[in-house]
Structure 1
Amino acid sequence: MPALDLAERAMTHPWLTTDPLGEALHFLRMSGTFYARSDLTAPWGLAIPALRDSMMFHVVTTGRCWIELPGTGAHLLQSGDLALVPHGQGHRLVSDPGAPVTDLFALPRVEVSDRYELLRHGGGGAATNLICAVVRFDHPAARQLLPLLPPVIRVEEWRSPQFEWIQSTLRLMAAEARELRPGGETVVTRLADILVIQTIRAWIEKDPAAQTGWLGALRDRQIGRALALVHRDPVRAWTVAALASEAAMSRSAFAARFTELVGEPAMQYVTRWRMHVALERLKEDDAPLADLAGRMGYQSEAAFSRAFKRVVGISPGAARQVADTR
């Protein structure tokens, strides 16, 4: 793949050199999405089991409820609020603290499609309507970002002026989920993508923990530029010297600052990012491994396979088999 110079890159992707954090969030794509619309009447309680390698979110479209996670206590969610559970941790949704709880999968549900269900449950009292989803982020950017997120992110300020358009998004999502018009599932999926990204952005803007580590490095003018270039063009034959030049730093100063901010040496980061990009490509097509090795910048399949197994933990062939069984 020919390497574009920095000016050409900036013309093609103008946010690249000015907003590396936005560039990283741009990569996030949801997959394996499953939705449920819940019509609930008090008293009610749902026990949501832990779901490995998944993220869950709940949007309250009408009424109110509480979300309870071990170690974080109970948190009130009102109409228009959203709660994101980034690590797939088991939790409970209840009409009020202390309400009786039933395992989610023990309740009868109406299957609208392979990925969309309707749930009705409760004792006939005050009504609460939820849109809930289980999603996955498989891109390398997600592998960097998700471990940094807290156990639960609650967004309760959609009502502020800068979030007015999010209110419209929530209303549209609620209408699509309620009316189930043709194509509604696709619309809800796209809207959910926006909501999850916006929730993560809201957390990044407010939480001091988001100012350090990988996220802090993306905000650094020089290291952030280098990271964005690696993310956009992972197969380029990067060296520490080349990255330092792009960052307008000396080789030694760049190497030290990169390790300090990111938490690992630059070339180790490049290799790890490249191998996770390769993992995504393995899932997307069935091209011979030798072809993929060449596209990832390796002269031989053996060298690529060694690097892949060192980073991912299994061979490329085994990774492809796992992807094929999903």
Structure 2
Amino acid sequence: MVQVVVDPLSEIVSHLKPQIAFSKMVQGAGAWRITRENTGEPFYCVVISGECGLTLDNDQQRHLTAGDFVLIPEAFDFTFSSTAPAAGDDVHSLPEAISAGRFRVGDKGQAANVQLLVGHCRFDSLDAKILVALLPKLVHIRNATRLTRLVEMLIEESLARPPGYVQVVGHLLEVLLIEAFRTKINTPALPGLLLGLADERISEAIRAIHQDISQTKTVAQLAKVAALSRSAFFCRFKQAVGIPPMEYQVAWRMTIAKDLLKTRLYSMAQIAERVGYRSASAFSLAFTNYTGTSPSKFQHMAELTAS
């Protein structure tokens, strides 16, 4: 029997259900400043030429140059601005459409000295908040040739809208996110999934959780997979991922359970068995405690949202 290799990063990105909202090309000249607040949508950008500044949540400004790729999984407050001459706090620019999918900011009388490919997408998963919390706040990659090609394909596909573009764009977004996150795995900074996957021993435990969620993995079992003592494993997992291993296991089980409930293809007993509970009542209690609503009520709410 061939064992299926589980890839937690791919599974999480797939369950986020990314869908494109809009994408465009932006040219800038002179002093300009674009601020976006309270969108909460994932944002991505490639600097095609020139340079600009990026400030996220009032942190120190980052200097972006040609070939840079930026991904913000949950963008609430960020600013793009020119670097020379510096755009002051009193400068606020509104992009002006110059053709389909193309916009201009800054001084109309100057030749453009920076060109960006930018886009927003959305996550259709009802568990997006939980999953996004496991991802980095910001992904910034230099010399991102592969990611640039993916963004160019995304924009071309979303503007042309040929037959089947919805599926193509969805798959391209998944590939874009996976490529960005796995590139960042080599240099993770904050606790989360990427830091967990960067740790060879903790990554084995994460894969074990995803491998078969119908079987409950105890801390002792996961510690054995990671070749660590129970106490060392527990502390190392929590430090890397940001939450205890059992909390991660429950969160992933409930993510799968929600998807199964939305299909209405399975009974409560079947779903309970598939996500590791001995009975429908045990699953219902765990689901209600975790989500604050019963499985049947969740199904009803999901139907109303879809209609």
Which TM-score band applies after superposition, normalised by the shorter structure? 0.7 to 0.9
1:195-220 C-alpha deviation (Å, 9 max, x unpaired): 3322223332124x25x665454444
- Give the deviation of 1:57 after TM superposition: 1.3
Checking the alignment, whether the CA contact within 8 Å between 2:134 and 2:193 is kept in structure 1 is no
- Give the deviation of 1:307 after TM superposition: 0.7
1:63-112 C-alpha deviation (Å, 9 max, x unpaired): 544323232233333343222122322222334523732578xx7899xx
Could you list the runs of 5+ residues in structure 2 that have no partner in the other structure?
none
Tell me the equivalent position of 2:59.
72
- Give the deviation of 1:154 after TM superposition: 2.0
- Give the deviation of 1:233 after TM superposition: 1.0
- Rounded to whole Å, the distance in 2 between the matches of 1:242 and 1:319 is 32
Deviation above 6 Å: which 4+ runs of structure 1? 107-110, 139-142
Residue identity in the other structure for 2:8: A
Tell me the equivalent position of 1:262.
237
1:47 equivalent among 24, 30, 35: 35
Report sequence identity in percent. Answer: 25
Residue identity in the other structure for 1:118: G
Tell me the equivalent position of 1:59.
46
Tell me the equivalent position of 2:103.
120
Residue identity in the other structure for 2:183: A
- Rounded to whole Å, the distance in 2 between the matches of 1:108 and 1:285 is 44
Could you list the runs of 5+ residues in structure 1 that have no partner in the other structure?
17-22, 111-116, 159-163
- Give the deviation of 1:228 after TM superposition: 0.7
Distance 1:199 1:62, change over 3 A: same
Tell me the equivalent position of 1:277.
256
Structure 1 residue 24 and structure 2 residue 8: aligned?
yes
Tell me the equivalent position of 1:93.
80
- Give the deviation of 1:32 after TM superposition: 3.7
Residue identity in the other structure for 1:120: F
- Rounded to whole Å, the distance in 2 between the matches of 1:61 and 1:102 is 20
- Rounded to whole Å, the distance in 1 between the matches of 2:232 and 2:178 is 28
TM-score (norm 1): 0.70
1:264-323 C-alpha deviation (Å, 9 max, x unpaired): 654444333212221233344464434422332333322112111222333323433443
- Rounded to whole Å, the distance in 2 between the matches of 1:61 and 1:183 is 27
2:281 equivalent among 290, 302, 314: 302
Checking the alignment, whether the CA contact within 8 Å between 1:289 and 1:301 is kept in structure 2 is yes
1:154 equivalent among 130, 140, 151: 140
Tell me the equivalent position of 2:186.
205
Q: Any residues of structure 2 matched to 1:245-260 within 5 Å, and which?
A: 246-247=225-226, 253=229, 255-260=230-235
Residue identity in the other structure for 1:293: A
1:130 equivalent among 117, 121, 125: 117
- Give the deviation of 1:258 after TM superposition: 2.8
What is the total number of aligned residue pairs between the two structures? 289
Distance 1:101 1:201, change over 3 A: same
TM-score (norm 2): 0.73
- Rounded to whole Å, the distance in 1 between the matches of 2:198 and 2:65 is 33
Checking the alignment, whether the CA contact within 8 Å between 1:24 and 1:231 is kept in structure 2 is yes
1:221-262 C-alpha deviation (Å, 9 max, x unpaired): 44432321211211124345554555566xxx2x32331122
Tell me the equivalent position of 1:195.
176
- Rounded to whole Å, the distance in 2 between the matches of 1:228 and 1:140 is 20
Distance 1:283 1:58, change over 3 A: farther
